[in-house]
């Protein structure tokens, strides 16, 4: 019986040794694609999923299954964009966050938390009445010769992130409207409550178009980037629940700092909201 047990143990060791030798002889095939490495690492950065040591080359090669040269190239690309910093013997670290802004919102959702308001600074660039162009009259469905315009620069953690210009019909006194805008700037709201406060009606639909465009000189200067740098230009026409157009806005987001997100699905499907789910878990 003892001899039988010993034989079984020897046989088990032989099988395991053979398996290990085969695995050493046939290493896992690594893909060679800097683009794939770049998009996967950037997505993890955007989601805040990377711990500091997760940016080590060996960890990334292991987790992505992508070759060392491809990983290095992807890290260099992200460093060139200013998202990462790389230094000999000190490794790779995150330099700047990518702000993810959901469809229908102006700000990242975490800024709506009262404890995070201090991270947001809004500079009022212009509040005035301007001539209504044919395009603005068409979008806002008005015949008025003028519209109210607000132009603002938004900074997060001191970094310029976007410039927003909004146009609204002359439905209320200019002084009252601009006073409301400035008051809200001191205590930002999510767009639904903000819309109701400004227009006295519930938010309806938002028609959105996003384009990648180069920054012209003034916008580039405000955002702290080179002229011609990529920006995401988002045009939004917002209607109240009865269908009346209330505002059309044009927002230039820094292409190297902002991602615009949306959720799509069949009618009636509830979107998955990880932030809301996490809050529910905390409450429970």
Q: What is the pLDDT of residue 145?
A: 94
Fold of the domain spanning 99-263: Chorismate lyase (3.40.1410)
Per-domain boundaries in the chain: 1-96, 99-263
Q: Which residue has the tokens 């009252």?
A: 176
- State the DSSP code for 215: P
Q: How many CB atoms lie within 10 A of CB 67?
A: 17
Element (H, E) at 86: strand 84-87
> pTM to 2 decimals?
0.75
The answer regarding whether domain 1-96 maps to CATH 1.10.10.10 reads: yes
Q: What is the pLDDT of residue 189?
A: 63
What's 52's DSSP letter?
G
pLDDT confidence of residue 131: 95
Q: Walk along the chain (284 residues) in steps of 10 and give the mean pLDDT of each run.
A: 60 59 52 88 85 81 90 91 83 85 82 78 91 95 93 92 93 75 67 82 92 96 95 95 94 93 69 44 33
Q: Note the pLDDT tens digit of each residue in 67-106.
A: 999 999 999 999 988 888 888 877 888 888 888 888 878 8
Place of tokens 């460093």: 79
Which strand (E) or helix (H) includes residue 15? helix 2-25
Helix/strand/coil for 256: coil
Residues 126-135: contacts with CB within 8 Å, 24+ apart?
A: 126/150, 126/151, 127/151, 127/174, 127/178, 127/181, 127/182, 128/174, 129/170, 129/174, 130/167, 132/167
């Amino acid at each position: 019986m003892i001899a039988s047990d010993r034989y079984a143990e020897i046989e088990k060791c032989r099988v395991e040794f053979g398996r290990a030798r085969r695995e050493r002889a046939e290493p896992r095939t690594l893909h060679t694609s800097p683009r794939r490495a770049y998009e996967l690492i950037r997505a993890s950065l955007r989601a805040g999923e990377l711990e500091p040591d997760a940016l080590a080359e060996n960890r990334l090669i292991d987790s992505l299954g992508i070759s060392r040269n491809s990983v290095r190239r992807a890290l260099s690309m992200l460093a060139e964009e200013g998202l990462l910093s790389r230094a000999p013997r000190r490794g790779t670290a995150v330099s700047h966050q990518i702000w993810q802004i959901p469809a229908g919102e102006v700000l990242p959702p975490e800024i709506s938390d009262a404890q995070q308001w201090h991270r947001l600074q809004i500079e009022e660039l212009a509040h005035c009445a301007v001539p209504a162009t044919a395009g603005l009259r068409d979008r806002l469905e008005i015949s008025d010769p003028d519209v109210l315009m607000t132009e603002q620069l938004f900074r997060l953690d001191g970094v310029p992130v976007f410039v927003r210009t909004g146009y609204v019909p002359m439905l209320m006194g200019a002084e009252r409207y601009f006073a409301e805008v400035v008051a809200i700037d001191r205590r930002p709201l999510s767009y639904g409550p903000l819309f109701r406060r400004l227009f006295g009606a519930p938010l309806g639909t938002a028609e959105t178009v996003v384009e990648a465009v180069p920054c012209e000189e003034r916008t580039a200067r405000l955002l702290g980037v080179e002229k011609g740098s990529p920006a995401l230009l988002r045009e939004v026409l917002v209607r109240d629940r009865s269908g009346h157009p209330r505002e059309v806005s044009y927002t230039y987001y820094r292409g190297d700092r902002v991602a615009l997100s949306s959720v799509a699905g069949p009618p009636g499907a509830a979107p998955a909201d990880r932030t809301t789910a996490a809050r529910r878990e905390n409450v429970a």
